[in-house]
Amino acid sequence: MTPRVNRRTKIVATIGPGSESEDMIARLISAGVNVFRLNFSHGSAAQHAQVAQRIRKQAAVAGRYVGILADLQGPKIRIGSFRDGSVRLENGDRFRLDLGLDDAAGDAHSVGLDYPALTTSVFRGDTLLLDDGRLRLRVDEVQANTVDCTVLVGGTLGSRKGINRLGGGLAAPALTTKDIADIDSLAEVRPDFVAVSFVSSAEDIFQTRDLLRAHQLEPAIIAKIERAEVVADDATLNGIIDAAFGIMVARGDLGVEVGDAELIGLQKDLISRARKMDRVVITATQMMESMINSPMPTRAEVFDVANAVLDGTDAVMLSAETAVGSFPVEVVTAMADAALGAERHPVARTSRYRLDKQFASAQETIAMSAIYAANHYKTVRGIACLTESGTTPLLMSRLSSGLPIFALSNRSETLQRLCLCRGVVPLFFDASVFDQDTVEASAIEFLCDEGQLHKGDAVLLTKGAIMGRPGSTNIMKILPVL
């Protein structure tokens, strides 16, 4: 028998009106979703708590660990509203951004916005980007309460659309009053991950962690990278990555601020940087956008997903495709197929990371040695980690391999967190009920019962000499499956 093929790249799917029913959640789990994203830009805390309950119920029915990510809205800077809902701006038109204009009084000549720092943040000659860069304005004159512009790229502009400055620089605190209120409500949701939007420094991560701990919550924190000034400063970027559990390459706002041409290299750098720093990374935004209304992806979208996989991303994320799209199950299936196709390529199974690195602990040494051994001993079919905190399988997942990493733990919070780690298969196994002499054989028997191993295989097993103590992994064995 051939062992089960485990997709290594994880899929994050956003919940919305098109996917929030129990039946659809069950179908999405079956199609391959590993983590569900709750977008706190929409909906109430009570609605998100209800959806989280459905996710946990359906994950239990499916017998899988499925993570929940709460994505905070953050300080998206938006223009005000138009009297008629939208206006049409043509190239060459004059258009004013007016801090003193009533919120709903916008017209084809001007619109208000609630961002007092605008007039001190932009300068003559700057390019302002509206509606995710679909429209562009050149700043001609800045006064105390107004910014007069010329339309460079026109189009239809709707109410409450976002505004950015090319090159970044329009910044507000990462945690808004709404975000803090949403964090206060997370005790009902109890997410496994919390994503912080528009992070500008490591302090944003520390503040979020402190606010969560005040409610006895310890979710893993994901820093969304979407500010041009952050990626332009190595020290700031590295500080953010180090402070967080992982990062999200939020290609929407980041692409608007730096330009799509720059974004290509930035995505690769961010993925590589996160992996080298032992952090997880999610690649997000418009990965299969056409499937909002189409049952099939474009070839370019398949290549986009595949390239992120080949770069080493832990997860790829779907937004509107599953939140409001007409084909949520089909898009998850298409994304899973694209990821599996890319993972068959040798580039996705080998790694040169850390060949010249000194290890800092026995745990890291065992983790890295296990991956090297597994990649060079052809009868090994997987790596079994008896783990408490999940650190050993996380470290293993930073190196590329074609083999599954079975994280065996009796701690549900550890297994939930590992849902996001590339190549890790979280499985409940309570090593404490076995004697030291029998736990290895019992673990192998369990993996065989799960269909992960078969007679004649070999498995590489890691554990601590003292079971039940986090961070104590110091033993590696290659064991036959008899």
Q: Between helices 202-213 and 234-243, what is the axis angle to 10°? A: 20
* DSSP 8-state assignment for residue 37: E
Look up residue 13 and give its two tokens: 């799917």
Catalytic residue among 56, 64, 76, 78: 78
| 318 and 248 Cβ atoms separated by less than 8 Å | no
Cα separation, 293 vs 11, in Å, equals 20
Catalytic residue among 208, 283, 285, 462: 285
Catalytic residue among 8, 96, 224, 422: 224
Element (H, E) at 269: helix 260-276
Smallest CA-to-CA distance from 320 within 268, 262, 252 is with 252
For the question of residue 37 being annotated catalytic, the response is yes
Residue 384 β-bridge partners: 406, 461
For the question of residue 285 being annotated catalytic, the response is yes
Look up residue 389 and give its two tokens: 């905190």
Residues 6+ away with beta carbon under 8 Å from 308: 267, 271, 283, 287, 316
What are the angstrom distances between the C-alpha of 234 and each of 206, 210, 225, 231, 240? 19, 25, 13, 7, 10
For the question of residue 94 being annotated catalytic, the response is no
Which amino acid, one-letter code, is at 380?
Answer: V
- Complete DSSP assignment for 319-352: SHHHHT-S-HHHHHHHHHHHHHHHHTSGGGG---
* Exposed/middle/buried for residue 169 (C-beta within 10 Å: 0-12, 13-18, 19+): middle
Catalytically active residues are 37, 78, 224, 285
